[in-house]
Structure formats: structure tokens, C-alpha cells
């Protein structure tokens, strides 16, 4: 049996219920993992609210790290006793242990702690595909990154610095802006006190940025398009402020033949080999010190309601983990 956080109805943080569930044995292509730490992500909020509906009741959580406890037939990249971490469907990471598909579970190097592993996989592999697979960037390019002091944002700031990419971040307070700059952002704009679109134009000599990476959604979408240079790429990869409303596609032509995409990490990691390569690239960044995992908050698994309230209120910085 394993203590597990489930929801029986979509809604607010108080929907969480802690129950003991039978873990069972792994079948073909599966592993059983005993968790040491669990990562929280904003996609968890979307799923809990019902923005990404699930068949209920359902366990929650997309990311964790721990020790492989049992291995089903056909699994060759992991063995019992291995340290491992993952970001993966289906949800179920908010638990002491679980059985899950093995393809997206990745070896965790000894030089990376369980808490770091739990905090880095979904966010870090998101940054990996944003910088290397969606619109490949090179040294000297300029990126506008919203929510630069969040879990994904602080990793993106460091990733950009390590590759010579100029990152202009946005955040909601002066303290968060300073945190983003401390982690590698070239500039960080306070969207509550500055006209950030005008400031982006000033910082790029009126040209605009090569790429916008926007997980905020509705509140920043129009400004993001207005911050791009001609032929620039808009990457909308989240909806923290709500979904982007329908728009006339012709506006992209009027604003300079802009490009737009709405990727998800799950498309990228659906292929086993790609997933493992992305995890290896991320681990290399962490092991060399180019990217440090900032864990701003720690909660016990039993405090999942409190953790979600903090995450949803944007009271967190860096990554948040649940401890077992």
C-alpha cells in the first residue's frame, strides 16, 4: 500500500484526498518506483481544475524521483536498485510508490540528488525542447521569457547564459526580477510597474526578439506578438493566466510574417529514445554546474493542499517539491 493524493472531482486545492492504494506488480514494459521526492508543476493545477480533464477518481502528479523497486518484462534500461527520475503520463506521482510505464523513466546520475531529480525533469526537459527542438537557438539570439522567476524560468535563465543567448525575462516583483537576473537573465522587466512591450523594443533597438517563450497565456499573448521581430517565433507553452482566446491568423502576417506554435513536452518524450536523450542533455547541464536546480519550497506529501494553494497564488519561486 502507498499513501497517494487523488482527486474525485475537478476544482480547487481542497479537492485533494489522501488514500492508501495497492501498488501492485509491474507488467510488461513497466517498473515499480519507490519515490523519494515529488515535483509540483502548473500542469498539475490545470489537471486539478479540469482544464485538462481526466477520468476520475485519479491520482495526481507528473514528476518524481526515487529507486526502482521492481522491473517488468521487456525493460532493459533500468534494473532494481537504480536511482531514477521521470516526467511522464499518466498522472500518479503524488504517492509513496507506483507502478508505471518504464519508457519515460530515466536513470538519475549519482551526482544529482533525489530532490533535484524530482524538481528538474518536467521543467528541465521543457527548457531543453524550447531551446533545442522547437525553434533551435544559437549564441547571440534574443529570447523574451515570461515568468522568468518560476521553476521553468530560472532553468531557462541559466540555460540561456550557458549558451550565449540573451534572455529578457518578465516577473511580477522587483525581488523576482533580481532572482531571474541572478540566474542568468540579461534583463528582467517588472510587468506590474513597466510597459514591458515598450521596454523590449527599447532593449532590442526597436527590432524585437527572435523568440518569445510564453507560459502565461491570455494576459501576455498580444504583447508577446508585439515583441517579436519580423519572422520571429512565438512559442505558447502554458496557460497560467487562462487559455489564449481565438485570434485571426492573418494578424501574424500583418505583424511581420510571424510564426506560432503550441508544443507540449509529452509530444517530445513520447518517443523513448528522444526522452532519454533529453534527460541526458539536462543531466549534463546540471552535472557541469551550468544549470543549478533552485528548490524554493518543500512540503510533506500530506501538505499537498497547502502546496497547491501556494503554487496557484504564485507565491513560489523556483521549484517546489513534496517530500516523502
What pLDDT shows up at residue 315? 86
What pLDDT shows up at residue 299? 98
Single out the residue in 262, 289, 308 at which a domain terminates: 262
CATH number at residue 207: 3.40.50.720
CB 100 within 8 A of CB 58: no
Q: Is 284 in the same domain as 251? A: no
Residue 303 to residue 298: CA distance in whole angstroms? 10
- Work out how many domains the chain is built from and give that number: 2
C-alpha cell at 56: 476520475
CB 98 within 8 A of CB 6: no
- pTM of the predicted model, to two decimals? 0.92
Q: Is 274 in the same domain as 255? A: no
Helices 272-288 and 114-129: crossing angle, nearest 10°? 110
Q: Is 103 in the same domain as 150? A: no
CB 231 within 8 A of CB 208: no
What's the rounded mean pLDDT across residues 55-81?
Answer: 97
Residue 285 to residue 134: CA distance in whole angstroms? 19
What pLDDT shows up at residue 161? 98
Residue 240 has pLDDT above 90, yes or no: no
| Counts of helices then strands in the chain (DSSP H, E) | 10, 16
Range(s) of the domain holding residue 100: 2-121+267-323
Q: Is 272 in the same domain as 251? A: no
> Does residue 231 form part of some domain?
yes
Rounded percentage of the chain residues whose pLDDT exceeds 70: 100
Peptide bond into 297 cis (omega under 30): no
Helices 151-162 and 174-182: crossing angle, nearest 10°? 40
Backbone angles phi, psi at 247, to 5 degrees: -140, 160
Residue 203 has pLDDT above 90, yes or no: yes
> Does residue 128 form part of some domain?
no
Closest CA to 31 of 135, 103, 138: 103
> Does residue 132 form part of some domain?
no
Residue 10 to residue 45: CA distance in whole angstroms? 10
Q: Is 162 in the same domain as 47? A: no
Residue 133 to residue 224: CA distance in whole angstroms? 20
Max Cα–Cα distance, the chain, nearest Å:
60
Residue 53 has pLDDT above 90, yes or no: no
Q: Is 95 in the same domain as 144? A: no
CA angle 300, 278, 68 (to 5 degrees): 50
Q: Is 155 in the same domain as 196? A: yes
Classified as helix, coil or strand, 155 is helix
Q: Is 77 in the same domain as 173? A: no
CATH number at residue 35: 3.90.180.10
What pLDDT shows up at residue 125? 97
Q: Is 143 in the same domain as 193? A: yes
Single out the residue in 230, 245, 262 at which a domain terminates: 262
Amino acid at each position: 500500500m502507498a499513501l497517494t493524493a487523488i482527486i474525485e472531482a475537478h476544482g480547487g486545492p481542497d479537492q485533494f484526498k489522501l488514500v492508501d492504494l495497492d501498488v501492485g506488480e509491474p507488467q510488461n514494459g513497466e517498473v515499480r518506483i519507490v519515490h523519494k521526492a515529488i515535483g509540483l508543476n502548473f500542469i498539475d493545477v490545470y489537471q486539478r481544475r479540469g482544464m485538462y480533464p481526466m477520468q476520475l477518481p485519479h491520482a495526481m502528479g507528473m514528476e518524481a524521483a526515487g529507486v526502482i523497486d521492481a522491473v517488468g518484462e521487456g525493460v532493459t534500461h533500468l534494473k532494481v536498485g537504480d536511482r531514477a527520475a521521470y516526467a511522464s503520463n499518466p498522472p500518479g506521482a503524488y504517492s509513496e510508490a507506483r507502478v508505471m510505464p518504464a519508457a519515460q523513466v530515466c536513470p538519475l546520475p549519482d551526482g544529482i540528488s533525489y530532490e533535484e531529480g524530482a524538481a528538474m525533469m518536467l521543467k528541465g526537459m521543457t527548457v531543453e525542447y524550447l531551446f533545442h527542438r522547437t525553434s533551435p537557438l544559437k549564441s547571440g539570439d534574443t529570447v523574451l521569457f515570461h515568468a522568468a522567476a518560476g521553476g521553468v524560468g530560472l532553468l531557462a535563465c541559466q540555460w540561456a547564459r550557458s549558451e550565449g543567448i540573451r534572455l529578457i525575462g518578465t516577473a511580477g516583483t522587483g525581488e523576482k526580477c533580481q532572482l531571474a537576473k541572478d540566474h542568468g537573465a540579461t534583463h528582467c522587466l517588472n510587468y506590474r510597474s513597466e510597459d514591458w512591450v515598450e521596454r523590449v523594443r527599447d532593449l532590442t533597438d526597436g527590432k524585437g526578439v527572435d523568440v518569445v517563450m510564453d507560459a502565461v497565456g491570455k494576459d501576455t499573448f498580444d504583447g508577446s506578438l508585439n515583441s517579436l521581430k519580423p519572422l520571429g517565433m512565438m512559442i505558447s507553452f502554458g496557460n497560467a493566466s487562462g487559455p489564449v482566446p481565438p485570434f485571426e491568423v492573418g494578424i501574424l502576417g500583418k505583424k511581420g510574417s510571424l510564426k506560432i506554435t503550441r508544443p507540449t513536452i509529452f509530444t517530445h518524450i513520447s518517443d523513448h529514445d528522444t526522452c532519454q536523450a533529453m534527460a541526458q542533455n539536462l543531466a549534463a547541464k546540471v552535472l557541469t554546474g551550468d544549470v543549478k536546480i533552485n528548490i524554493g519550497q518543500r512540503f510533506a506529501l500530506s501538505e499537498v493542499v497547502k502546496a497547491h494553494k501556494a503554487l496557484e497564488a504564485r507565491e513560489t519561486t523556483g521549484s517546489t517539491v513534496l517530500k516523502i
